[in-house]
Structure 1
Amino acid sequence: MEAKVLVVEDSAAQRFVITKILEENGFKVQSAENGQLALQSLNQYTPDIVISDIMMPEMDGPTLCKTLKQDRRWQNIPVILMTTLNEPSEIFKIIESQADYLFLKEFDPDSFIAFVEDVLHTKDNNVSTSNDGAVLVSVLKRIYPVQGSKEQIARLLISAYRSALQAYDRYYRLKHEIKEIQNNFKSQLKVKDEKNQYRYTQISLLVEEIRTPLNNLFQIFDLLEKAEISQEYDIYLHLATINSQHIAKSLDDLQTIAHFKNAAEQIPARFIEFNLRECIDDVLSPFSVQSSKKQIELISHLPPDIPEFVKGEPNYLRHVLFILIDNAFRFTEKGAVTVKVAREDEGEATLRLKFTVQDTGQGLNPKKEKELKQLFQQIDRLSAKVSEKLREANPGLFVAARWVHSLQGKMDFESAKSGTTFSFVIPMEAAEAPPEIIRLGKNASLKGTPILVLSEEWLNGIVLEELLNSWGAEVKVTNQAENVVATLLQAKRSRHPYKLFIADSGVRSSSAFKLLEAINKQKDLANLKKILLTSFGQRGDAIRSIKLGVSAFLLKPIKAKELYQTIQTVLQIEAPSDVLITRHTLKETSRPLRVLVAEDNRVNQKLMMAILNKEGYEVELATNGQEAVNFYKQKPFDLILMDMQMPVMDGFQATRAIRKLEANSNNHVLIFALTASDDPKEIQGAHNAGVDEVLRKPLNLPALKDILKKYLQDSHKIAIEL
């Protein structure tokens, strides 16, 4: 029978490492973040051994140990306290807690497992004392008798502990000396030039930008293992995907910087058309885990007068906002972190947008305020060099301000006891939205649909009200949960019932579930459709949602397109079901893009099929133009990727043949020519044959998606992840 271990450790990384080592050696492991949670776990799970950190929030290791030893149910469970030996007097606290064993944190895995097995061997064999009064100790599964008085053994152990402290002290001094040698070596190599320092700072910040979503993944994987139903699994899988995508984007920028020949370079600016709302949502998404853990609301507001599609530099904007939001979370313990966008171009021809990131922390001290003012002033003066002291003290804000400055903008801040607000204004251009976005915004089919929204945060309520109004819905927003049931019943009795109730639960979902329970008790509200929005789903939320008749469970921040699609799907449901709509199910129910690849080169075939299949597209392969024409006759496609140079029938002939077949119908399949040639005659020949676009080989997926936006009128129904 495998031994059961309870690991109590507040550090997610340490908890992960200890758990992994134990599980790889055949132990069954349960974990808790602090002593209080460990006690709750013990009511349902009785371990053979408890391994606990000493310093933890809520309840530390010694207090946990003392509690266990004073309770008859748990007093015989061996407790190992893990220490770094930072504090010499710690041993007396450990002895007082009645802990059974002590083990150093910086351990070798094999030594750690051997120690745990010895503890269990002692417990399993009921090893305590011999007949002659000697204390029996298990070392590497062998029993050794130890004779002597309690005073002698105590003095011996304390002196051994002091010797261990001295050895540990020598180890740390040696470690410090090695670090100093490394730092001296680095300082000799380090160029004092500000340009080199700037590149180094950019790299450091991108590494930090990876750290947040990476830490999130550790927590999400833990939740994935414990997911009880598929809908719960879908929610956590979506969170993992968001964080993985953010890591991938940052790694791309790291790779770009690593190849710079000139140290003065920064990430290249690319001024393109992009969806501003989705750009901001993508930045906010990795912070949803922190939002839930710290119980801090994460809010964004893009007013109706701001164009949703703009032309600008989305990559710089994403990085700057990430730095400012990350900074806000570090210094905020309660309240909210809010991202706002406003226009600063009244009466001007150009579009100038002001972005603000506001927290509810303690504010900056006067010294820090003065420091940041000097930093921003020096960056604004093109001729002035930024002080190395200011730069090193504020690396994130330094790079953020430099990026803003390169976009012809300016960084500023305001601070008070109620929090700090960082802001920057940059010029942009309004861009024309793709056809599917235009329809979604102006011709959406929610006209006249009565919707009641409960929002704990007034700004979130405004955001939802603006979105729903833009789709023609009849919206009422309230922040008074106690009046919701009465409001719903009154509307029902007046024969103008609400068709949909949206509960925006903020960082705490418990109050929303209580309200949903109250709604469920009303027979007159049995047909009411319900959507729950939350900052971060807790274990069991999906099951509770299904039991309470919730049709959709979405994690914030919510993208406009996803919210609209969710509402449309929910309103079409005729009767309650056990299916809970999540972002994952929305994607699964969308029709994949149907693509025909016409390509004769085997290497190109494998590459293109791999890229397109990975995106979830339905892909067919034709090895020449004649096969492509035959496929077209047999089944419909959304897109044909046509190589122009193929045997039997080339791409020019195949395109003309398909267009001829279309002449007698109202159909028009998209045909994108693929060519490695720069010859203008070949490109013009492809257009003359009837292709819609000419793409260069090899296939570039992001470029393909950008071009598809112009053509697919029903792209919100097709899973192409635009």
Structure 2
Amino acid sequence: MKRQITKAGFEDADIEKYKDFFDSVNEAYKGYDEDVKDVEIILEESSKELFKSNQALKSEVVRAESEINIIVDTIEGVIFKTDLSGNFKYLNKACKDLLGISVEEALNKNYREFLVGINKDENLRLQNFFAEHHDDFVTLLKFFKPTGEKVWVQVRLVLTYDNDGIANGTIGTMTDVTQLKETEIELNLANKTKDEFLSTMSHEIRTPLNAVIGMSDILLMEKFLPEQLENLQVLKYSSEHLLALINDLLNLNKFKSNEVKLVEDDFNLSELIQNIQLHFKHTAINNNLSFETVLDSSIPSVLKGDSLKLSQVLKNLLSNAFKFTHKGGVTFEIELLSSTNDVTTIRFNVKDSGIGVSYDKQKDIFKSFVQASDNTSQLYGGSGLGLYISKELLNIQSTSLQLESTEGKGSKFWFDISLKNSDKIDAIKQNYISKTNPIDLKVLVAEDNQINALVLKKLFNKWKINYEIANNGQELLDLYNQKHFDLILMDLQMPILNGYDTTRYIRKMNDIRKSTIPIVALTAFSQSEVKEKTKRYKMNGYLSKPFNVNELHELLSFYSVRKQEVV
């Protein structure tokens, strides 16, 4: 204070004069110095506390990071972070186990470096993800480790954002799904093998059925004794429904994928019921059971619907009724529920006095390969598919199968179905083959099965058709090069040269008249198996074996008329 007074130029008299003032200022300075010292002490103590807290926080962060890294590194899947270009900025140690690449090898490298030459489509999707900044992304990648081992990896990515909401990278996971993918591949291979087996079985079973159905058709076209008619009707009806059953068994998986479609056409209901009655007449007699059929006379005689599927349901229900009935009998009732100008609704009932179904089993018997008890198959036979197939056939016709049953007293199965009314007064009777008029046509047939060839020969002779039959595709080509024909019926599965290759040779012929001849596939394979392929090979149509004689006649008549128009 004295130094400041002297520096300011005060005289001694001034100092004495303002002594009290200078003393108070001096005291203020002393007090300020003490306050500064106190503040410095406080700041020093605070700094020490802050330093301790900071050290403790750093230690906690290190500990947390260590624990997180331990947790992350023990996770089986890969956790990673990339920038927006796909360069890895972080990976946990699981990448070594999953991909065979260490963290050091992968950091700051682009994901594309590890996917060279594979996953082209998925690489493109990944590039689009990084370029277009989608919010999230999931893909499946095939990856080869440096050892050559193949792994399937599911990758999930989500974008990360900075404080301004701008995308700045991604975080994601990689999961080993090799076992699941390999299982899927094995299942697909098994399904393919199963489909190939079913396809072959379908062909092999339909081939002899073609002869049975074809010969029954031919017998119905010929002269027969009146008492033989019923036997021929049963033969034809039974063989056709055996074919329908085989088709359903071979294509059982179609029910699960909704591939079974309705084929609606006009049919005579009383004729359908008569055929079913004839089919089970001998079963009832042989088992000493009564069989009563009651058809409501007020039901229109001709309706429109899928008569084959309807008939199979009824046949399955009646077959079960007779199978599980030892005394008494079976009643088959067809009742009119309602009728309008467009639709007729009918209830079909099948009642029996058989063993019945216990209440706790009534839901299960509608499942595939399930029967009422463990020994049902041993005692009564059957596969357990009848009711399941019936339920599914009715489901696609917008109705359901109902059951009332008491164990030991019998069962009643029924369903209500709405069928469209037909504008026809009567439908063609299916037991009689009406198509007997001649057809002016020269037909070349490729058919390696001698029984099928015999059926075709008999039909062609009845229709006065000029024909040649070849045993394989090569024989057909040799005949076709020598003679003129109006139509080719082409079996698809033949030795030496199959139907597809034979058709390809024909379509490439220089003679435009020969190369454009109508070619219709004639095969025992199902339509779904060959439809697209026959189109691809430029065939003009498809006729399934066993074929319907009327449909075959109409097909040949169509090309006969077309031939006349061309001429």
Quickly name the TM-score band, shorter chain normalised: 0.3 to 0.5
Superposition TM-score, scaled by structure 2 size? 0.37
Superposition TM-score, scaled by structure 1 size? 0.30
